A and B are shown apart, each in its own frame.
Chain A
Amino acid sequence: MPGDTTQSVWNEKKGSTAPSRKTGRRSWSLVSLYRKRSVWVHTILTIILGMVLWQVAAAHTSELVMVPLGAIWKAFLAAVKSGQLGNDFLASFQGFLIGLVLASAAGIVIGVVMATSKIVFDFVDPWVSAMYSTPLIALAPLFIVVFGIGLTAKVAVVITLAIFPVIINTAAGIRTTDRNLIECANSFGADRLQVFSKVLIPAAVPFIVTGLRLAVGRGLIGIVVAEFFGARAGLGHMVFNASQNFDTAGVWLGVFILAIIGMTLIKLMYRFERWIAPWRDFEVQ
């Protein structure tokens, strides 16, 4: 029975003990329902657990550090009602999106050029690697000095943070293309352009998407920090303002919203990776 085999493979992956044949057949429907939906069950349980722990911790710490979830919820409703939250969200999102798009486009182009020219690679790679591992976020105040308070500075910070993983992954993807495939294309009469567009680029796509996923995470940090140092609106601005006013609920509200945005984006990027490279057997993250 084909269903049997998939079930048992699934079992091994999750490391749960396989039920013996007899009992497995008996309690089939309940067990299989739990198995199918177990991710959801576990997710909901862990969220509830987290909320309980939060409330306990909040009850035992200063109001200046943690506040009960109810207070954060109230702050949320107030911010939505006043329209402030929507404004801040849009302001951040705009800077983030422009920065990310520019960083992706430029990063891919630079990565491709690096990977296809050895001289360019030798000259550029040390700098790219150095800048990737440096916490460039420290430069954010300088960007404000150069570009002034506003969108340009935010975009510049996002680009600075987001571009390097894209460059590095694009170049790596192209450079690690299976030599056998390149040779196979050559053997079937591909010219240089065809090898590039039909072998190197497709082979690099999964790497590029991984680079983009990293860029999303770093870009989010970039936008928030840029807004800390100088902005008239934005989620980072909101968190900063709240902390200046000892509005702990406001700070946590901003952090929670950022966390949810970050998680959603990363999840979407994983989806995107799987959609764009269905031939790759993705392990569950």
Chain B
Amino acid sequence: MARLRGPVREHTTDASTPRLEARSLCKTFTKRGNTLEALHDVSFSVAPGEFVALLGASGCGKTTLLRTVDGLEPITSGQLLINGEEEHTPGPDRGVVFQQDSLFPWRSVLKNVRMGLEFQRKPRKVASEQARRYIELVGLGGFEDHYPHELSGGMRQRANLARAFCIQPELLLMDEPFAALDAQTREIMQTELLRIWAETAGGTVLFVTHQIDEATFLSDRIVVLTARPGRIKEIVDVPFPRPRDLSIKRTPEFVAIVDRVWTMIEEEVRTAMGMTTSHDSVDDLEHTALPGNR
């Protein structure tokens, strides 16, 4: 299949500049005098073209981190560099797939997908044409004129993907895009995502999830966060060659990485749930918490 795009925006920065770099990033929420530290001293970088997963227990600040990168949430201290420059507002160089359903209910699939181009005041015809290509790409061809409430959950997520891809962002931010899907659909969407990503000559992806096997399957590196306040616990390399298909999930190497990350995160989940590490509760937890991750 023909590549849908080459590099979009020319940057004067050289290839060694990370697409995204966080330096000692801190984020504190203040509400009626109460402060809540969501992120503490987070530093990591993402190279151009890299697929990085952000993994952590619920409430550890994954969404918050993604929102600061998108420019929806100001940072409290530290630095956040996009292509080596500080960015404080959302821009067309970043596309987001939100955790919650965020398709516009009064817009058809086509109009939802071309929304970003519309906001950039691209001619309607050009925008529609481009949107159609991405709708086709995510497998929603024929549903252009359907409204979101006429689609299944999986189809809505495809539309969300198409909308984010359609602005051809350099940096794609995805916040648990498949969390609401059933297990089978989720696995299919994971392979679909990799396919779309490859066919669009891949932007850089920051993918939030709390599913260890999802992170391992999709990414080049996994950034593991601690329980709140989120700090970097460890960054794990995932060396599988691409293209990948679901069968790698059964290889011993894959299982080894999942196991390693699991032990890392187990303690954090426990902390997040307000448990202490005691030997008695280990078995309980393994059978109740995060089923399906092992």
Residues of A within 8 A of B (CB): 180-181, 183-191, 194, 198-199, 202-203, 205, 277-281
Residues of A within 8 A of B100 (CB): 180
Q: Chain B, 97-129, contact with A by CB distance < 8 Å: what is the 0/1 string?
A: 010101011100000000110111000000000
A188 to B119, CA, bound (A): 7
Report the stretch among B51-59, B88-96, B259-267 that lies at the interface: B88-96
If over half of B's interface residues share one DSSP class (helix, strand or loop), that class is named, otherwise mixed; here it is loop
A278 contacts across to B, CB distance below 8 A? 147
Closest to A186 in B: B90
CB-based contact A279/B90 at 8 Å: no
- Cα separation A194 to B149 with both chains bound (whole Å): 23
List 11 extra interface pairs beyond A181-B102, A188-B96, CB under 8 A.
A184-B102, A187-B71, A188-B116, A188-B163, A188-B167, A189-B90, A198-B118, A198-B119, A203-B106, A278-B147, A279-B106
B8 within 8 A of A: no
**B149 in contact with A281 (CB, 8 Å):** yes
The 11 sampled A-B contact pairs (Cβ below 8 Å) are A184-B96, A185-B119, A188-B95, A189-B92, A189-B116, A189-B119, A190-B119, A194-B119, A198-B119, A279-B105, A279-B147
CB–CB B72/A186 < 8 A = yes
Q: Is B18's beta carbon under 8 Å from chain A?
A: no
CB distance from B71 to the nearest CB of A (A): 8
Find the B residue at minimum CB distance from A278: B147
With a CB–CB cut-off of 8 A, which chain A residues contact B92? 188-189
Residue in B closest to A195 when the chains form the complex, CB atoms: B119
* List of B residues within 8 angstroms of A277 by Cβ: 106
Taking the complex as formed, is B203 at the interface, i.e. its CB lies under 8 A from any CB of chain A?
Answer: no
- Which residue of the partner chain A has the closest CB to B70? A187
**Residues from 193 to 231 in B contacting A, C-beta threshold 8 Å:** none
Q: Which of A186, A279, A281 has the most CB of B within 10 A?
A: A279
B149 engages A180 (CB within 8 Å): no
- Give bound CA distance, A190 to B214, whole Å: 32
Interface residues on B, range: 20 to 34
Q: How many Å lie between the Cα of A279 and that of B91 in the bound state?
A: 29
Tell me, in angstroms, the Cα distance from A202 to B98 when the chains sit together.
21
With an 8 A cutoff between CB atoms, is B148 at the interface?
A: yes
User: Of all chain B residues, which has the CB nearest A281?
Assistant: B149
B90, A187: Cβ atoms closer than 8 Å: yes
Q: In the assembled complex, which residues on chain A have CB atoms less than 8 Å from the CB atom of B71?
A: 187
Residues of A within 8 A of B167 (CB): 188-189
Q: Nearest-CB distance from B45 to chain A (Å)?
A: 22
Interfacial chain A residues near B147, Cβ < 8 Å:
278-279
Q: Are B98 and A184 in contact (CB under 8 A)?
A: yes
A190 and B119 CA atoms in complex are apart in Å by 5
CA distance A140 to B105 in the complex (A): 42
Task: Return the 4 tightest CB-CB contacts between A and B, nearest first.
Answer: A188-B116, A184-B102, A190-B119, A279-B105
Q: Which residues of A contact B70 (CB under 8 A)?
A: 187
Residues of A within 8 A of B72 (CB): 183, 186-187
Instruction: Give the chain B neighbours of A185 by CB distance below 8 A.
Output: 115, 119
A185 to B100, CA, bound (A): 14
By the criterion CB–CB under 8 Å, are B96 and A189 in contact? no
B100: nearest chain-A partner, CB-CB: A180
How far apart sit A16 and B197, CA to CA, in the bound complex (Å)? 51
Nearest chain B CB to A192's CB is how many angstroms away? 12
User: Which residues does chain A contribute within 8 Å of B149, judged by CB atoms?
Assistant: 279, 281
User: Which among A183, A191, A277 has the highest number of chain B CB atoms within 10 Å?
Assistant: A183
B94 cross-chain contacts in A, Cβ below 8 A: 187
Q: How far is the CA of A181 from the CA of B119 in the complex (A)?
A: 14
Given A278-B147, A279-B106, A279-B149, answer yes or no on A189-B98 (Cβ-Cβ < 8 Å).
no
B104 touches A188 (CB 8 A): no
Tell me the complex Cα distance, A180–B101, Å: 9
Closest to B118 in A: A198
- Cα of A130 to Cα of B42 in the assembled complex, Å: 53
Q: A188-B115, A189-B91 are in contact. Are A205 and B120 (CB under 8 A)?
A: no
Shortest C-beta distance, A188 to chain B (Å), equals 4
Closest-by-CB residue of B relative to A202 is: B106
Q: Which residues of B contact A181 (CB under 8 A)?
A: 102, 104
User: Which of A181, A199, A281 has most chain B Cβ within 10 Å?
Assistant: A181
CB distance from B203 to the nearest CB of A (A): 15
B149-175 contacts to A, CB under 8 A, are 149, 163, 167
Q: In the assembled complex, which residues on chain B have CB atoms less than 8 Å from the CB atom of A281?
A: 149
| Residue numbers in B under 8 Å from A180 (CB-CB) | 98, 100, 102
* Neighbouring B residues of A188 by C-beta, 8 Å: 90, 92, 95-96, 115-116, 119, 163, 167
